[in-house]
Amino acid sequence: MNRLNWGDLTPEKFLNEYWQKKPLLIKNAFRDFTDPITPDELAGLAMEEGLESRIISHKNKSNWQVQHGPFESFDQFGEQNWTLLMQAVNNFSKKTHALLSHFNFVPSWRIDDVMVSYSTPNGGVGAHLDQYDVFIIQGAGKRRWQVGLPDPTLTELIPHQDLKQISPFEPYIDEITEAGDLLYIPPNHPHNGISIENSMNFSIGFQAPNSQELWSTFTDKLIDQNRGEQRFNDKDRKLAADPALLSQEDIGSLKNFMLSQLEDENFFSEFIGNYLTQCHHPLEILVPVTPFTTDDIKQLIDEGDVVFYKVSGIKSLFVNQPNNALHFNGESFDLDTDTDSETVASLLANEQCLTVKEFKSFSVCLKKLTLLTNLLNKGYWYIE
C-alpha cells in the first residue's frame, strides 16, 4: 500500500491543528488502497471462539439489535441493514497490522487496535460518541459519514442494552467516503456512518487511560510489592493551635506523603511500562512446547536459515531513563547499560520481523542472547 498522502498537511501540522481538536477528512489519502483482509476472512474470524465480534442490525432505522459472536452463519441477517464489527483484527492479520505503520507520528503505546467492520447497504451502528481518537480508513465500497463538533445538549439514547447512541446532531463533515479516504475523529465528537453499498472500514483506535484506571492499577502494584507499608511521620510537629483543626500544613504533608510513591522513578517506570503494554484483546501467542536454550538460539543465528517474527498486535515499548528496560505484554525485561542497549530495545520493540543478519550481534553477547531467548520462550517472538 502507498504511503499516507497528507496533501497540504504534514504530520506536524495535523498534530498542531487537528489532533484532539477537530475532525478531518483526507480524500484519497491512500492511493489504490486494497483491503488487507477480505469480507470472507473477516467472517471466518467472527466464527472463532474467544474473539470479539458483534453484529448490529436494524429495521427502518429502528428496532436495533446486537448479537455477539462467535457466529455459525450470516444468512439470517439478509442483504442490508447490518454491520459486522471485529475488534483487534491486527492481532490475527499481519497485513491489517501493517496499517499501523502509517500512524507512527504518534507513539505506539497510544494505539489500541484495528477494528474492522463489514457493512451491508444502510448498515451502521447509529449516531454515537467515542471517548478516544480514531482514524477510519475507507476500504472497498462507499459510506456516508457525518461528524459533528462537541455539543453538551446531545442526549444519550439506548435503543438496545448493548448499544449507546445519541440524539441527532449538526454535521461539521458530511461526505461520502471511497476506498483510500481517511477520516479522523477526535474524542467526544458525534459521528454516524451509513454504508451506501457493501463496504469495509478499518478503524485505528487509540487508548487513553483515565485517572481512575491509573491510580487503581498503581495502587494494586504497591500492594502486590508491599511498597505502601511505610507510615506517615511528623517528627518536626509544632504545637497545635486547635486540636480539631486539620491544618493546611498537615493536608500538604499527607498529600506529599502519598505522592512520594510516584517520585520513585524506577518503580513508576516499571509500573507504567507494564501497564501500557497490557493487551486488552486476545493474542495469538504460541509458547514453545520445549523451551529454547541460549545455545539453541545461538546455533539458529549462526546457521542463518530462519526469520524471527513478533506476535502480531502484541504491545511493546522501551524505557531508557531512569533505567533501561524493555516492556512486552505487561512484563518488563532489564537491559544492559552499555551503549547499544537502546538500539537493541528499539529493534525488538519496533520491528515486526528480523532476519538472523539483524540478530547477528546477539550471538556474541550472552545478555542479549538471553533476552531474545526469554522473549521466544514467552511466545512474544517466534521463529519460522
**Per residue in 203-245, pLDDT tens?**
999 999 999 999 999 999 999 998 888 899 999 898 988 999 9
Q: What is the mean pLDDT of residues 41-55?
A: 97
313 touches 88 (CB < 8 A): yes
* Position 339 in a domain: yes
202: pLDDT confidence band, cut at 50, 70 and 90?
Answer: very high
pLDDT of the residue at 150: 97
339: pLDDT confidence band, cut at 50, 70 and 90?
Answer: low
* Position 256 in a domain: no
The domain tally of the chain equals: 2
Q: What is the CATH number of the domain that holds 356?
A: 3.40.366.30
323: pLDDT confidence band, cut at 50, 70 and 90?
Answer: confident
274: its cell numbers: 507494564
| Boundary residue ending a domain (160, 177, 206) | 206
Mark whether 307 and 178 lie in a shared domain.
no
Q: What is the CATH number of the domain that holds 101?
A: 2.60.120.650
Q: What is the mean pLDDT of residues 50-67?
A: 93
| Boundary residue ending a domain (151, 179, 206) | 206
Structural domain boundaries enclosing 321: 294-383
62: pLDDT confidence band, cut at 50, 70 and 90?
Answer: confident
| Boundary residue ending a domain (172, 206, 240) | 206
Mark whether 182 and 305 lie in a shared domain.
no
348: pLDDT confidence band, cut at 50, 70 and 90?
Answer: very high
pLDDT of 20 higher than 70? yes
Torsion angle in degrees (nearest 10) through CA of 62, 137, 280, 112: -130
**Per residue in 168-178, pLDDT tens?**
999 999 999 99
101 touches 87 (CB < 8 A): no
* Position 115 in a domain: yes
28 touches 180 (CB < 8 A): yes
pTM to 2 decimal places: 0.92
* Position 255 in a domain: no
* Position 281 in a domain: no
Nearest C-alpha neighbor of 281 from the set 105, 85, 147? 85
pLDDT of 124 higher than 90? yes
**Per residue in 161-170, pLDDT tens?**
999 999 999 9
pLDDT of the residue at 1: 62
341 touches 319 (CB < 8 A): no
* Position 252 in a domain: no
* Position 263 in a domain: no
Mark whether 174 and 303 lie in a shared domain.
no
Position 362: which residue type? F
* Position 72 in a domain: yes
Q: What is the mean pLDDT of residues 114-142?
A: 97
